[in-house]
Amino acid sequence: MNGIGQRPAGCAEQITSVAYVSLMGLQVLAKANRSNDPFNPRAQLAASARKAVQDGYSQLVDLQQSDGGFPYWQSKVSDLALTAYVLRFMDAASEFIDVDRSVINRAAAYIVAHQSKTGAWTHRWGQEKDVEDLNLTAYMTRTLASAVGAKSAIKAGGKDEQESKGLQSVEASFKLGMNYLETQIDTWEDPYLVGNYAIAASASNKSEYVSRTRSLLSSLAHREGDATYWNLEANTSPFYGWGNTGRLETTALAVEALAKLEEKQPDADTAQQVSRGLQYLLGHRDRYSVWYSTQATENVIEAMIAAMPAGDETAGSSKADIVVNGHSVSTLQLREATAIVGPATLELEQYLHPGHNTVQVVRGANSSAMNALVVSSHYIPWKDSRSTAGENFISGDTRALRLKVRYDLTDPRPEEAVKCHVETERIGFRGYGMMLAEIGLPPGSEVDRESLEAARGTGSVQSYEVQPDRIVFYVWPEASGSRFEFQFRLRYGMDAMTAPSHLYDYYNPEANATVVPVRFVSH
């Protein structure tokens, strides 16, 4: 919850994901009866989670369009996958906060209205016309499945007849979507599709193809040491995830699907796949203890909760000895397996030395399962990095981004306007979703807001955030690259460096380019 709260949260998907993780925190606390007890140490966590859910809901309500759908950005075209995601969040959030059911009803009606006669949902994906999309169809069908299973997707505040008609349309849309997917079953090659279908089948108690989904997920799995992962075979997920982040999204879906299938029909092989998939997910967090993008993080947390084994009620607390380079440096007291707690943390800097270091977590025999995360950071001179001055481009399937940053003055007088010209480009690919360009500023700069609004008016810049040492631009890639500029002024004389400038793909941060800091001298 804390880690995802530190991510950029400007678009509707990010807003939903940040709130969704807090919502799942509330769900776990509620199962343990820990959310309302004022004397419980988790009460404060529950209160902050509830506030995050309420804040996210309030922001999303303002983003709903007249057609009932939700866009990534204000006053933009509604997006089907995003609308389904928001609908899932709001429906689940209604357990904890007051939700206007008409908002959910309109979103559901938007989804149903955009289903084709074949049962599929379509997407353009940079092509000349809309095409049927199996992965998108599976996600939309999964969204409607929980509503059909619980008979609660459309709970209109008006007449019973209106409620009944709304539910009937959702049920009909769900059945049409499932039939479409099942007629295409011989072409299923993407675990993203299979995972969403399996979750839909589980939620709706539809078991006809359960054995088929088990075998498909097993055949599509990849082993990595003691872990297992599933690859996204499409260019992107419906939420533009790709590369390593797309793999995390897909692995999470597969783990959640297998966990739900195993719960209904216990199977030792399936349980082993779930365990190995969890091991992969737990071993691929970033330094914030999240999974690189907000969408991947929500998927992983959802999978972890679905697959979480019951804690051993008979096991008490235990200890873990931390050994660094052969020397015991600390003993951590771990809480019992059923406790809902944050991580136990330990700073190791004083025990490390240059070169190779070995860190061990030593516990007694027959201890319950645990997970450890080592977060490290280090610095190298800019001259030894792959960053370059002024312009940076690194080729390769996962790194093909280009960033150019040019300041027209580096020795301005205080209050003299400085123009910063920015060029961004994704080389050779289209349709991979949002890029974030963080453009470094000298200390204490005063940014011209009118120039930022003019940059947003270029079309490729969807939004921006002004931070103390940089400006974060949300850039939608264009085939020929994006070019924009903005202005700022120095408030006082200085001899100082800007922050570095970065360009990275939001849904696959492996794709990135960095321009080194620029020195400003002003008298």
Band the pLDDT of 250: cuts 50, 70, 90: very high
pLDDT at 152: 47
* Token pair for 44: 């404060």
Q: Is 347 part of any domain?
A: no
Exposure string (b/e) for 233-268, b if CB count within 10 Å is 16 or more? ebebbbbbbbbbbbbbbbbbbbbbbbbbbbeeeeee
Q: Is 85 part of any domain?
A: yes
pLDDT higher than threshold 70 for residue 432: no
Within this chain, do residues 398 and 267 fall inside the same structural domain, yes or no?
no
Average pLDDT over residues 46-53: 92
Q: What is the SS3 assignment for 375?
A: coil
Within this chain, do residues 74 and 181 fall inside the same structural domain, yes or no?
yes
Domain boundary among 261, 277, 307: 307
pLDDT higher than threshold 80 for residue 92: yes
User: How many DSSP H helices and E strands does the chain contain?
Assistant: 12, 19
Q: Is 250 part of any domain?
A: yes
Q: Is 282 part of any domain?
A: yes
Q: Is 323 part of any domain?
A: no
Q: Which of 105-114, 328-337, 483-492 has the lowest mean pLDDT?
A: 328-337
Within this chain, do residues 392 and 261 fall inside the same structural domain, yes or no?
no
Domain boundary among 276, 307, 338: 307
What is the distance between the alpha carbons of residues 186 and 423, in angstroms, rounded to a whole number?
45
Within this chain, do residues 13 and 141 fall inside the same structural domain, yes or no?
yes
Band the pLDDT of 371: cuts 50, 70, 90: confident
Within this chain, do residues 435 and 303 fall inside the same structural domain, yes or no?
no
Domain boundary among 289, 307, 325: 307
Band the pLDDT of 159: cuts 50, 70, 90: very low
Average pLDDT over residues 318-339: 88
Q: Is 359 part of any domain?
A: no
- Of 196, 209, 184, which Cα lies nearest the Cα of 142? 196
Q: Is 326 part of any domain?
A: no
Band the pLDDT of 372: cuts 50, 70, 90: confident
Within this chain, do residues 146 and 26 fall inside the same structural domain, yes or no?
yes
Read off the CATH number of the domain in which 421 is found: 2.60.40.690
Amino acid, single-letter form, for residue 75: S
Within this chain, do residues 301 and 403 fall inside the same structural domain, yes or no?
no
Band the pLDDT of 116: cuts 50, 70, 90: very high
pLDDT tens digit sequence for 446-473 = 999 999 999 988 778 988 999 999 999 9
pLDDT higher than threshold 90 for residue 520: yes
What is the distance between the alpha carbons of residues 349 and 375, in angstroms, rounded to a whole number?
11
pLDDT tens digit sequence for 2-37 = 888 777 667 899 999 999 999 999 998 887 765 555
* Token pair for 398: 């996962």
pLDDT higher than threshold 70 for residue 128: no
pLDDT at 217: 93
Band the pLDDT of 292: cuts 50, 70, 90: confident
pLDDT at 133: 92
Read off the CATH number of the domain in which 251 is found: 1.50.10.20
- Of 74, 49, 51, 52, which Cα lies nearest the Cα of 64? 74
Average pLDDT over residues 368-381: 80
Average pLDDT over residues 343-348: 88
Q: Which of 60-64, 182-186, 479-483 has the lowest mean pLDDT?
A: 479-483
* Token pair for 293: 């993008």
Q: Is 102 part of any domain?
A: yes
Average pLDDT over residues 169-186: 91
What is the distance between the alpha carbons of residues 17 and 59, in angstroms, rounded to a whole number?
12
Within this chain, do residues 29 and 173 fall inside the same structural domain, yes or no?
yes
What is the distance between the alpha carbons of residues 52 and 44, in angstroms, rounded to a whole number?
12
Within this chain, do residues 301 and 404 fall inside the same structural domain, yes or no?
no
pLDDT at 275: 92
- For residue 434, the enclosing domain spans 388-522
pLDDT higher than threshold 60 for residue 151: no
pLDDT tens digit sequence for 192-201 = 999 999 999 8
Q: How far is CA 168 from CA 111, 129, 181, 207, 228, in A?
A: 14, 30, 20, 21, 40
pLDDT tens digit sequence for 377-428 = 778 888 888 777 877 766 555 557 889 999 999 999 888 999 999 999 887 6
- Domains: count for the chain: 2
